[in-house]
Amino acid sequence: MSIKSISIKVIALLLLLVGLNMLYKGTLWKKDLDKEADMLLELLNKQDTCDILYFGESSNCTTDSFELCKKYISELTAEYYPSLRLASVDRPAMHAGIYLSVIKNIPATAKVKTLIVTMNLRSFGANWIHSKLETPLQKSNVMYQLYPPLVNRFMLSLNCYEKKNEVERDADMKRQWANEPFHFPYPFKYQTVIEWDNGVGNGSFLNPDGSWDMLKIGLATSYIKTYGFQINTETNPRIKDFDKIVAVAKQKKLNVVFNLLAENVTYADSLVGKDLVFLMQQNKQLLIDRYTKKGALVVDNFEVVQGKDFIDQRWTTEHYKERGRREIAKNVAEELKKIYSREFVEEFKNQSD
């Protein structure tokens, strides 16, 4: 077979693949996105009609069932900028690795010029990094890649993503808890999360009759396992994700604002104590310093929500009642003034007492 005939066949094959990709993109692609990767579908619907996009997880869209106001943090932020269009792209359990993949899809021609990206401290810890939800997240992530849509769909059909089962991820999480030592600037009796968890879990809270107060013990140990870590900037995957978000935003000439969410520091202090609060504040400051130096705007909402204004009182989440959402939105809006000073207007009087 001659080189010429081979070249003709290769060209014909490439043209066929291009044609099939165009056919797929014009027919089934958006249906597949709706099923497998709907954040990208939402991005496609909003990137050319919005000035600002807010990327978040359940913290943005969770409201108390008893509240009259059901507005998201992003919607409350938008009230300060009535002349701009601010919309959200959010799904529960999302983290920076998924935001990164979606953001990479924003074209240079898009109208959007500013990204507000949720920065959730919990997502830097072992129990989120190794969550059982990570496998379905990685499955959807295949469809967010910058390859031709038909290639992504083919890769998805081949299960080309990390698909550890729940037992494997649980083992990875416990391994990290057992092997990562703490480094306090003062003596501390526990070396790892496992040791600390066992120490507090062994009857640290008692009922009046002397029995173990399992409700408080369970809540205290959940705080330890959630926040008992020190971010290693060399190995933490969320650090790598946020670093890349800054780099991609610069490449695309997009402003990037990181909304460092509020954590229930009050309850962490009352249940576990100053040692855990030290770790939480150390990690907070590391994130603020790192990303401010990289040129991002970082909104420090870490301690602005009172303990009573967290919706979940028996678990560690970033779900806030209206007053908490309004306070966070106000601070994000204030930071946005550095970009949109002329568009900023004072919000109407807060309805929460």
In a domain, 206, yes or no: yes
Phi, psi dihedrals of residue 297, rounded to the nearest 5°:
-90, 130
Q: In what order do the strands lie in the sheet with 255-260?
A: 86-90, 52-56, 114-119, 255-260, 297-300
C-alpha to C-alpha distances, 107 to 110, 141, 169, nearest whole angstrom: 6, 18, 35
142 domain residue, yes or no: yes
**Whole-number Cα distances in Å, 134 to 260, 317, 348:** 22, 17, 40
Q: Does 130 map to a domain?
A: yes
Can you state the angle between helices 237-251 and 96-103, rounded to 10 degrees? 20
Q: Please count the structural domains in the chain.
A: 1
In the chain, pLDDT over 70 holds for what percent of residues? 95
Would you say residue 25 lies in a domain? no
The stretch 335-351 carries a mean pLDDT of 82
Kindly report, residue by residue over 42-67, the tens digit of the pLDDT.
999 999 999 999 999 999 999 998 99
Residue 23 domain-assigned (yes or no): no
3-state secondary structure of 207: coil
Percentage of the chain beyond pLDDT 90 is: 91
What is the rounded CA–CA span in Å between residue 198 and residue 273?
16
Q: Is residue 3 part of a domain?
A: no
In a domain? residue 7? no
Both tokens assigned to 48: 């050319």
For residue 248, the domain's CATH number is 3.40.50.1110
Give the DSSP per-residue string, 305-346: S-GGGBS-SSS----B-HHHHHHHHHHHHHHHTTT-TTT--P
Any idea which of 2-16, 69-83, 106-120, 269-283 has the lowest mean pLDDT?
A: 2-16
Give per-residue pLDDT as tens, 292-324. 999 999 999 999 999 999 999 999 999 999 999
Pair of tokens at residue 96: 């920076």
Summarised one tens digit per residue, pLDDT across range 89-132 is 999 999 999 999 999 999 999 999 999 999 999 999 999 999 99
Q: Is the pTM of this model over 0.85?
A: yes
Domain assignment present for residue 16? The answer is: no
